[in-house]
Amino acid sequence: MWKFLHRLSSLKYFYEWSGKWVPWLLGLTAVLMLVGLYWGLLVAPADYQQGESYRIIYVHVPSAWMSMFVYVVMAGAGFVAIVWRTKLSEIVVSECAIIGATFTALALVTGMLWGKPTWGTYWQWDARMTSELILLFLYFGIIAVHSVIEEPRTAARVASILAIIGVINIPIIHYSVTWWSSLHQPNMQLISKTPSVHPSMLYPLLVMATAFQFYFVSLLLIRMRNAILYRERITNWVKNSLARD
């Protein structure tokens, strides 16, 4: 296990290893996405209070979950980058920032589009929405660090520290609807004897959430491979593998 992880941390080895996985991951993402869309849009029943507009849940909730999940992955990679100084974890930090910012922006936009017909307003400065907006700014900050500091390894160190400090925002987002009164509905109770979402609506949501997970892993690997190719563009292994094609 440790031997495998050690080999994987070599950029060349990771590039070759990940190349085998990308097409399968993308295929699985597409299948899950199609099943989830079909199930959520056509099979799942309408909501007894909200009617059809609740179907926004199938893109909003997976985006919002991913916006936090990607942040935790990024901060974890930042910790590894600071402690062990591995280049691969530095690349994870910089590539996660852009993907995470996309998910966060999607969560905010789809949330606004859900809020208008449901609450009568696109936006309110309550704890859930404000803390999610702060998450977006944290991602922007980490992206900015990478574009302002030219030396990639220095940039990675600063970005990692920022990512680790920003983790404090994640439990704030999660518990914001419990700690403060909000327009936003409370968190779903999934692990309980009486789940707060009926299976006919929950299963398509879980399929969509899994599809988003696979999308994230696929895009992260693709982006990391690009970053490796760029960083290593003057090395012999990159030149040789190109000459072979």
Binding residues (CB under 8 A) for another protein: these are: 26, 37, 41-42, 46, 51-53, 55-56, 59-60, 63, 99, 102, 105-106, 109-110, 113-114, 116-117, 215, 218-219, 222-223, 225-226, 229-230, 233-234, 238-239, 242-243
Calculate the alpha carbon distances from 2 to 77, 78, 92 in Å: 17, 19, 19
- State the DSSP code for 45: P
Shortest distance (Å) from residue 214 CB to another protein? 11
Amino acid at 223: R
Amino acid at 231: R
Tell me the three-class secondary structure of 133-189, residue by residue.
Answer: HHHHHHHHHHHHHHHHCCCHHHHHHHHHHHHHHHCCHHHHHHHHHHHCCCCCCCCCC
Determine the angle formed by the axes of helices 57-84 and 87-119, rounding to 10 degrees.
160
With respect to another protein, which residue has the nearer C-beta, 98 or 172? 98
Shortest distance (Å) from residue 113 CB to another protein? 5
Query: Is residue 212 classed as helix, strand or coil in its secondary structure?
Result: helix
Shortest distance (Å) from residue 161 CB to another protein? 26
Shortest distance (Å) from residue 51 CB to another protein? 4
Shortest distance (Å) from residue 27 CB to another protein? 13
220, exposed or middle or buried, with CB in 10 Å at 0-12, 13-18, 19+? buried
With respect to another protein, which residue has the nearer C-beta, 170 or 219? 219
With respect to another protein, which residue has the nearer C-beta, 47 or 126? 47
With respect to another protein, which residue has the nearer C-beta, 99 or 129? 99
**Cβ(199)–Cβ(151) below 8 Å:** no
With respect to another protein, which residue has the nearer C-beta, 21 or 230? 230
Shortest distance (Å) from residue 160 CB to another protein? 23
Cα-trace Rg, the chain: 20
With respect to another protein, which residue has the nearer C-beta, 22 or 172? 22
